[in-house]
Amino acid sequence: MMDNVEGFYSKGWGSGQVKMVLGDNTFSVYLNSSMETLKFKASDMRIHREWIDGVWKMTDEMPAGYFKGVLDT
């Protein structure tokens, strides 16, 4: 749990963290932008990635200190 994911809702992808596995391929996800927790089917989720230097990167591939710089802006 606590995996960084994106859930498709309201015509777009919202990034957040998996909070709970609900069963039947459904997950409870806390969305960062709206600060709410929603239910998503696995088919409406994907692994979160960031576009860095022209390449999609997963969270564990981010350069050291990347998120500190992003959060300070």
Q: At 5, is the pLDDT very low, low, confident or very high (cuts 50, 70, 90)? A: very high
Query: Could you tell me which CATH class the domain 4-71 is placed in?
Result: mainly beta
Which residues are CB-contacts of 16 (< 8 A; sequence separation ≥ 6)? 4, 5, 6, 7, 29, 30, 31, 32
pLDDT tens for residues 36-62? 999 999 999 999 888 888 988 886 665
Which stretches of the chain are DSSP H helices? 66-71
Strand bridging mode 4-9 / 12-23 = antiparallel
Q: Which two tokens stand for residue 37?
A: 């927790």
Q: Are 50 and 15 in contact (CB under 8 A)?
A: no
DSSP 8-class letter at 73: -
